[in-house]
A and B are shown apart, each in its own frame.
Chain A
Amino acid sequence: EPEVTQTPSHQVTQMGQEVILRCVPISNHLYFYWYRQILGQKVEFLVSFYNNEISEKSEIFDDQFSVERPDGSNFTLKIRSTKLEDSAMYFCASTPGLEGSTEAFFGQGTRLTVV
């Protein structure tokens, strides 16, 4: 069964450092998403991406965040200068991009710890 894969599963970084979280969406999907879940809290939408550009973003997705699809398979989330409050689980998801195909497929997540 096709699945969304994320690497690494856990990343520890120092405050102020840049991190890149990687995702491989399901191969024939067209829409890609990043979500964040701070420990014990709600799963929050960050950004959606379609046709090589951001289609929607939330207030959380400020200038320190960026997304990219550098090749035909990877979808990355970059945090330029990490803060302690960026510590969270980050989930990547994808959807087929077909009218009526409403299910989002999620990866296992990357746990980011900023120290």
Chain B
Amino acid sequence: GDSVTQMEGPVTLSEEAFLTINCTYTATGYPSLFWYVQYPGEGLQLLLKATKADDKGSNKGFEATYRKETTSFHLEKGSVQVSDSAVYFCALTEGWGGSYIPTFGRGTSLIVHP
């Protein structure tokens, strides 16, 4: 079945550092790929998405490119802020006819120090 593998956390960075959170996936077809963010005590918010190979999703300075050849969707940000501290989940959906069930990775906790 489908699966998503994320790098283990926590990732601890200083403010303005460069961020990469690795994500690879296994799917039978052509999934859509997502990054969700969960701030402390809150729910899941969609951060960005990409629906086909070579698409780049971006939002709030975060970017991720859908790489079919390496089955990856790594999350990057050039300069992190303390407010970016959260848990980041890579996810995919695959389906047809309107039924798409998200499959999540384990989540990667990001801690940004001032």
Residues on A facing B (Cβ under 8 Å): 30-31, 33, 35, 41-45, 48, 50, 55-56, 89, 91, 93, 95-109
Residue of B nearest to A44 (CB): B104
From B34, B51, B91, B99, give the contact of A48 (CB < 8 A).
B99
Inter-chain contact A30/B98, CB cutoff 8 Å: yes
> Given that A99-B98, A102-B95, A102-B100 are contacting pairs, would A91 and B43 also be in contact in the complex, using a CB cutoff of 8 Å?
yes
- The yes or no answer to B103 lying at the interface (CB within 8 A) is yes
**Neighbouring A residues of B32 by C-beta, 8 Å:** 102-103
- Of the candidates B31, B46, B98, B103, the one having the most CB atoms from chain A within 10 angstroms of its own CB is B98
Inter-chain contact B105/A42, CB cutoff 8 Å: yes
Inter-chain contact A104/B100, CB cutoff 8 Å: yes
- The yes or no answer to B106 lying at the interface (CB within 8 A) is yes
Residues on B facing A (Cβ under 8 Å): 31-32, 34, 36, 42-46, 49, 51, 89, 91, 93, 95-107
Inter-chain contact A106/B44, CB cutoff 8 Å: yes
**Neighbouring B residues of A56 by C-beta, 8 Å:** 99, 101
What is the CA–CA distance of A103 and B36 in the complex, to the nearest angstrom? 11
What is the CA–CA distance of A33 and B98 in the complex, to the nearest angstrom? 13
> Given that A102-B51, A102-B95, A103-B34 are contacting pairs, would A43 and B100 also be in contact in the complex, using a CB cutoff of 8 Å?
no
Inter-chain contact B99/A50, CB cutoff 8 Å: yes
**Neighbouring A residues of B91 by C-beta, 8 Å:** 43
- 15 CB contacts below 8 A, A to B, read A33-B102, A35-B102, A42-B107, A43-B44, A43-B107, A45-B101, A50-B99, A93-B102, A97-B99, A98-B98, A99-B97, A102-B31, A102-B51, A105-B46, A106-B45
